[in-house]
Amino acid sequence: MSLINPLSFIRKAQEKGVAIAAFNVHNMETIQAVVEGAAEERAPVIIQTTPGTLKHAGIPFVAACVKEAAKIYDVPVALHVDHCPSYKMIVQCIQNGYTSVMIDGAELPYQENVALVKKVVEMAHFAGVAVEGELGRIGGTEDDMTVDEREATFTVPEEAKDFVEATGIDTLAIAIGTAHGVYKGEPKLDFERLSAIRNLVDLPLVLHGASGVPDDSIKEAVKRGICKINIATELKLPMAQAIQECFRSNPKENDPRKYMGAAKEAVKEVVREKIRLCSCSGLADEIRGV
Ligand code: 13P
């Protein structure tokens, strides 16, 4: 299949009370692991790249790899740019076939943030591309972006309603106690806040920083209206562990197909687990009426 706008399947997930798993990828093997894992679960999937990954690999290279993967494995695949502060980079992503974008104007004063997001929405919708916005700030580190815990702020429900109406975004990422990266203690999610946002905003809601959040909390979040779950760190860790294990058992190994092959399989297992946790296995066939 060609890459598609994820709203078709995110809205279906919302209707059914399940979520779509979105995975951050960094190289060819992680792209393969995500799409292969999704195909084995018969689930639609979102592949995401941060601006840091795009600087590392190049937008055309990433887009070409994901397009090929979507053609080979017969499930709906969307390609999304995650936490992008740059209008210019978003335009380049769309020109290269991205079907979804997240504009991150969190550094800006509120009115400037709204104006930037609105400008992206107008341009992206013209191109048939979905837009994710974020209100509140998620702590932790992703890529070269670090938000100190003291600067992290939870989403205020009334502000979320205003932000959605003022910008015209399609999905809203909310801050309710998750963080990017590895947690120091067990994250405690503010479910009451999530429900209060859900009562005021009927857009699909997105949970960032889902790695390391206990399964029960993810399930509760989905029950209360989260329709997209973002996972990055929990793919990086098994990848690194599988490579380390390869070199521990054979320090002279020099065949990338061996250590990267093992890494790919380890990542794929986590992809399948997370898709099952989101209860979206089989959704690909349901969307097509198979
Ligand atoms: P984690 O690294 O905590 O999984 O966060 C992923 C994320 O939110 C990507 O935007």
Question: What is the spatial order of strands in the sheet that 145-147 belongs to?
Answer: 145-147, 139-142, 179-180
236 Cα to the center of ligand 1, angstroms:
11
Q: Which residues are catalytic?
A: 82
Atom 3 in ligand 1: which residue has the minimum CA distance? 209
Atom 9 in ligand 1: which residue has the minimum CA distance? 230
Provide DSSP, 164-211: HHHH--SEEEE-SS-EES--SS-----HHHHHHHHHH--SPEEE---T
143 Cα to the center of ligand 1, angstroms:
10
142 Cα to the center of ligand 1, angstroms:
7
How high is the pLDDT of residue 12? 97
Residue numbers of the chain with a pLDDT score lower than 50: none
Residues lining ligand 1, Cβ inside 6 A:
24, 82-83, 142, 180-181, 208-211, 230-234
270 Cα to the center of ligand 1, angstroms:
14
Among 30, 180, 206, 270, residue to substitute to test ligand 1 (most atoms within 8 Å of Cβ): 180
Contacts for 51-59: CB closer than 8 Å, 24+ residues apart: 51/81, 51/83, 51/84, 51/85, 51/86, 51/89, 51/143, 52/143, 52/144, 53/24, 53/25, 53/26, 53/143, 54/81, 54/89, 54/93, 56/26, 57/26, 57/27, 59/89, 59/92, 59/93, 59/96
How high is the pLDDT of residue 290? 58
Q: What is the pTM of this model?
A: 0.95
How high is the pLDDT of residue 185? 87
- Nearby residues of 231 by Cβ (< 8 Å), 6 or more positions away: 21, 22, 23, 24, 210, 211, 270, 274
Domain boundaries, the chain: 7-287
How high is the pLDDT of residue 151? 63
Q: Which fold has domain 7-287?
A: TIM Barrel (3.20.20)
